[in-house]
Chain A
Amino acid sequence: MRVLLAVEHPDYAEILHRAVQDLAYTVTARVRQLRQLRAVARKTETDIMLLAFDEIDRIKLRHIERAYLVQPCPIVLFTRRGDTEIIDAALKAGVSAFIVDGLRAERIKPIIDTAVIRFNGVQDLLRELEQANTTEQERKLIGQATGILARQAHIPESAAAKALRRLALNRNKRIVDVADCIINGERLLAHV
């Protein structure tokens, strides 16, 4: 596992660095300030980011979010305090684990494991959601195109749907692209 460290205090950086090495993970980079994180994250392939900062505020969270967007991976954040508001904001910024006063070498492994499992779980859910949403939109187009085809060719909708599928297969295109083509085509032809 490749780990990117962003730690304010050299002492904690050392604790974390050693703990990570003891787990036989690789520290790919170390930064001391969150505003450096994005640039480093962009050019460093990493599986997880471990961050430790005494205080977390909106500006720090913005840096974290910007880093997350260029390198989406689980983020573990150790800090000294956090109220409900900042915790909410941190989770929205992409933090997988928000840990108050819990930086101890022996706890790092389960914390990393939990963060990775949770991150993957959420990613799966997001992918599923995207799939459901895309399919829904695509289905709308396909349904619309099937309707046009059925009407123009005077065939039942079930036959039109099959024709659409066949068309896509023959032209080696995605069915939704063919549907799109039919809808646009009809729109243009209707005005001729």
Chain B
Amino acid sequence: MFGSENPVLRLSSENGAFLPMTSSLTQRPSETALRVLLVDDDPERAALVEQALGAAGYVVAAQLAPHDDLHARVAKIRPDVIIIDMESPDRDTLEHMCCIGRELPRPVVMFTHDDDKEKIRLALRAGVSAYIVDGLSSERIKPIIDVAMARFQEYQALRGELAKATAALEERKLIERAKGLIMRQRQCPEDEAYRALRNQAMTHNLRVADVAKQVIAAAELLI
């Protein structure tokens, strides 16, 4: 019931043996089909993965070898999801992933044969949304991509929230500092100092934190 009995396509880079496709999944890629960037060092295997992706309703926007300039290609192609199929994720690939994660975050699904815990840790840290050991079969591709995308979105949302909280914290610090400076210069109470900041921000159509930054910069020059 579960597992190994009925995969339509089983891929194994050890023996290179593929079972033929007799897929019941014959969705045709629609205009809204998700675009996949496929990274695979074995062209023959890549062709079969591409076929499996097509059968599951995805469009392979491009297919690369791992040592192509991933970052540039991702920037150009802007795929919805990146699928990497390799024996073991090497350091170069993981570094590319980190870089892409920072600048052009995308869900990444990695199929490998490497079950080393440290490798898994590195891959996840590099932004891999799904790390799948020995699990590439055409039937499972869709749920795996679905999970990867859901997880990616969840993670991005969390990261976004954290970035927001950290930025708010930084801004608060700036505003407090600027307020303190104004209070000292004008010998005024805190609320008046804050009002001064806010009025300045409104007049110049700036954010209070930006005015605070200006006040601090000015204070460094003047006081």
Q: Which residues of A are in contact with B by a Cβ distance under 8 Å? A: 9, 12, 52, 54, 78, 80-84, 87-88, 91-92, 98, 100-104, 106-107, 109-111, 113-114, 117-118, 121-122, 125-126, 128-129, 132-133, 135-136, 139-140, 143-144, 146-148, 150-151, 156-158
Cα–Cα, bound, A94→B125 (Å)? 20
B172 adjacent to A139 (CB under 8 Å): yes
A156 adjacent to B183 (CB under 8 Å): yes
B2 adjacent to A109 (CB under 8 Å): no
List residues of chain B with CB within 8 A of the CB of A102: 2-3, 135, 140
B158 adjacent to A121 (CB under 8 Å): no
Query: Which B155-176 residues sit within 8 Å CB-CB of chain A?
Result: 155, 158-159, 161-162, 165-166, 168-169, 172-173, 176
Cα–Cα, bound, A101→B115 (Å)? 19
B131 CB within 8 Å of chain A: yes
The residue from A80, A98, A158 contacting B1, defined by CB atoms under 8 A apart = A80
List residues of chain A with CB within 8 A of the CB of B117: 113, 117
Tell me how far the C-beta of B124 lies from the nearest C-beta in chain A, rounded to whole angstroms.
5
A114 adjacent to B124 (CB under 8 Å): yes
Residue of B nearest to A130 (CB): B165
Residue of A nearest to B190 (CB): A147
A52 adjacent to B190 (CB under 8 Å): no
B143 CB within 8 Å of chain A: yes
Ordered nearest first, which 7 A-B pairs have the shortest CB separation?
A: A157-B180, A147-B190, A100-B143, A132-B165, A103-B2, A110-B133, A110-B115
The residue from B3, B183, B189 contacting A104, defined by CB atoms under 8 A apart = B3
Cα–Cα, bound, A104→B133 (Å)? 11
Tell me how far the C-beta of B160 lies from the nearest C-beta in chain A, rounded to whole angstroms.
10
Name which of A84, A100, A109 has the most chain B CB atoms within 10 A of its CB. A100
Asked, given contacts A87-B150, A129-B165, A150-B190, whether A104 binds B4 with beta carbons under 8 Å apart, the answer is yes
- Chain B positions 187 through 223: 1 when the CB is less than 8 Å from some CB of chain A, otherwise 0: 0011000000000000000000000000000000000
Q: How many A-B residue pairs have CB under 8 A?
A: 123
Cα–Cα, bound, A135→B173 (Å)? 11
List residues of chain B with CB within 8 A of the CB of A144: 190
Tell me how far the C-beta of A128 lies from the nearest C-beta in chain B, rounded to whole angstroms.
6
Tell me how far the C-beta of B138 lies from the nearest C-beta in chain A, rounded to whole angstroms.
11
List residues of chain B with CB within 8 A of the CB of A126: 158
B180 adjacent to A117 (CB under 8 Å): no
List residues of chain B with CB within 8 A of the CB of A128: 162
Cα–Cα, bound, A10→B7 (Å)? 23
Residue of B nearest to A135 (CB): B169
15 contacts between A and B (CB under 8 A): A12-B1, A84-B149, A98-B147, A101-B3, A102-B3, A106-B134, A107-B133, A117-B117, A118-B124, A125-B158, A133-B165, A144-B190, A147-B189, A157-B176, A157-B180
List residues of chain B with CB within 8 A of the CB of A80: 1-2
- Chain B positions 131 through 156: 1 when the CB is less than 8 Å from some CB of chain A, otherwise 0: 10111010110011011011100110
The residue from A78, A91, A129, A136 contacting B161, defined by CB atoms under 8 A apart = A129
B184 CB within 8 Å of chain A: yes
The residue from A88, A129, A156 contacting B184, defined by CB atoms under 8 A apart = A156
List residues of chain B with CB within 8 A of the CB of A133: 165
A88 adjacent to B165 (CB under 8 Å): no
List residues of chain A with CB within 8 A of the CB of B189: 147, 151
Cα–Cα, bound, A133→B165 (Å)? 6
List residues of chain A with CB within 8 A of the CB of B1: 9, 12, 54, 80
B121 CB within 8 Å of chain A: yes
Cα–Cα, bound, A97→B179 (Å)? 48
A147 adjacent to B143 (CB under 8 Å): no
Cα–Cα, bound, A109→B117 (Å)? 9
Name which of A12, A88, A100, A101 has the most chain B CB atoms within 10 A of its CB. A101
